Structure 1
Amino acid sequence: MAIGVIIIGDEILSGKRADKHLSKVIELLAERGLQLDWAEYIGDDRARITATLARSFAGNDIVFCTGGIGATPDDHTRQCAAAALELPLALHPEAKILIQQRITDMLIEAGKPVELDTPENLHRLKMGEFPQGAQIIPNPYNKIPGFAIQNHYFVPGFPVMAWPMMAWVLDTHYPHLFHQHAREEKSVLVFEAMESTLTPMMEALEAQYPLIKVFSLPSVGNHQIRRHIELGVKGDPRQVDAAFEQMLRGLDGFNAEYVPA
């Protein structure tokens, strides 16, 4: 099972807000011995969101989707998920209870009478309208839930809500996947080298050690460090050590200058 994330919101694409979800998802997965396979960013465009989700639902990946599940005019994710699955939206009964609990808490805190049938409070129930058959994702911050359907997990755009909700999803539904594949990574900084010179060696390593990947991350350098390439191997620990030692021998054959990364 691959794992992906879809991050929705015009505010991300316009630069009004800097995305913090991608790095956090990577962190949450790494803590559990998992890794992110892909990520997509989408603005608040219904047709594009629907098309993206339809494509995603057609696969078997585990997908986290952040943003756009509120009840304001620029929130489209709930509706797009339903459209992508060709399902109606339906008020989830447990979501209704949780939203009304949140409304009650807010009214009591403000010293106002608890009136759940006002137009404003009835509109808030739209936040609990999910594709028919969806399950809720609990929100420990303010009780307003997200929803899950077909290995897709929809959470708010607010990090303070989204991050514990995503952690809950992983710990509740996927603990059997944790730390299933041991991984190791080793690398060096190679100074003043050309990637084209190193490429044949990299290809040979991957051919000889099929359980590893070779990576090359060039840098133009700065006032603290010269131009260099971070060159390394990652993957199954059973092959990483041998591949890394062979890589170092190859670098010695080029008379390359390198230091541990």
Structure 2
Amino acid sequence: MAIGLIIIGDEILSGKRTDKHFPKVVELLNARGLQLSWAEYIGDDRERITSVLQRTFSSNDIVFSCGGIGATPDDHTRQCAAAALDVPLVLHPEAKERIQERIADMAREAGKEPDFSKPEMAHRLKMGEFPQGAEIIPNPYNKIPGFSVRHGGGAHYFVPGFPEMAWPMIEWVLDTQYPHLFQRVARLEKAVLVYEIAESTLTPLMETIEAEFPQVKVFSLPSVGSATVRRHIELGVKGEPLQVNAAFEKMLNGLDAFKAEFQRI
């Protein structure tokens, strides 16, 4: 089961804000023995968001989507999710309760009683309008929930763009919905720095290792170096621990055969 991440917002693509979700989601997954399989960035464009969601809803992936679930004109994610599923947006009853709780909390903090008859109250409730059949994701920061949609063998989880809200909500999803997936696959990674050698020279060795050890991936990260670091390649293997150990020994022997200078890391 693959895990994907969608990050929505013009402010990310324009560089006005720097995305923090990608590294944090990778961190949250790695801590649970899980890995991110793919990620996409999308601007605030309804047609494009809908198209991406139509494609990802057709998969069996677990997908986290960050951003665009508010009720301002530049928030489109809720509407696009409904359009991609071809279902209407409906006010979720539990989301309504949570939003009203938040409104009441804010009013009382200001020394007032909440007035739910005001026109702006109806607008705030739009944040609880989700695709028909969706379930809520609790928000410990301010009670305004996100939502989830199950499809086939997978599910999508929609959370706000604010990290202080999104990250605990994603953790809640992982810890309540997917603990059975944690630490299921043992993984090991080993690597060396290989100095002053062309990547093309090492390619046959990498291909041989992957062919011999099917549960191992070989990775090669070249660096042109700097004033203080020589040109090098971070060369390594990752995957099933027993095969990684054997593959790594084969890699070291191959480097010795090339008379390559390398350093374990």
TM-score (norm 2): 0.98
What is the Cα deviation at residue 201 of structure 1? 0.3
| Corresponding residue of 2:227 | 223
| Corresponding residue of 1:129 | 129
| Corresponding residue of 2:104 | 104
| Corresponding residue of 1:3 | 3
| Corresponding residue of 2:184 | 180
CA distance in structure 2 between the partners assigned to 1:164 and 1:224 by the alignment = 40
Deviations 1:111-146 (A, max 9, x none): 233101211111000000000010000000000000
| Corresponding residue of 1:197 | 201
Question: Does 2:94 correspond to 1:94?
Answer: yes
Deviations 1:49-85 (A, max 9, x none): 0000000000100000000000000000000000000
Deviations 1:141-166 (A, max 9, x none): 00000000020000000000000000
User: Equivalent residues in 2 for 1:43-58 (5 A)?
Assistant: 43-58=43-58
TM-score (norm 1): 0.99
The percentage of aligned residue pairs carrying the same residue is: 72
CA distance in structure 2 between the partners assigned to 1:145 and 1:224 by the alignment = 50
Which amino acid in 1 is paired with 2:239?
Answer: G
| Corresponding residue of 2:75 | 75
Q: Secondary structure at the match of 2:80?
A: helix
Q: Which residues of structure 1 form unaligned runs of 5+?
A: none
CA distance in structure 1 between the partners assigned to 2:70 and 2:181 by the alignment = 31
Which amino acid in 1 is paired with 2:164?
Answer: V
CA distance in structure 1 between the partners assigned to 2:121 and 2:257 by the alignment = 72
| Corresponding residue of 1:233 | 237
Question: Does 2:28 correspond to 1:28?
Answer: yes
Q: Secondary structure at the match of 1:190?
A: strand
What is the Cα deviation at residue 225 of structure 1? 1.1
Q: Which residues of structure 2 form unaligned runs of 5+?
A: none
RMSD across aligned positions (CA): 0.6
CA distance in structure 2 between the partners assigned to 1:159 and 1:227 by the alignment = 37
CA distance in structure 1 between the partners assigned to 2:43 and 2:194 by the alignment = 40
Determine which of 165, 168, 188 is the counterpart of 2:172.
168
CA distance in structure 2 between the partners assigned to 1:193 and 1:48 by the alignment = 43
Which amino acid in 1 is paired with 2:126?
Answer: K
Determine which of 184, 189, 213 is the counterpart of 2:217.
213
Which amino acid in 1 is paired with 2:211?
Answer: A
CA distance in structure 2 between the partners assigned to 1:153 and 1:171 by the alignment = 13
Which amino acid in 2 is paired with 1:169?
Answer: V
| Corresponding residue of 2:141 | 141
Moved over 3 A (4+): none
CA distance in structure 2 between the partners assigned to 1:93 and 1:224 by the alignment = 61
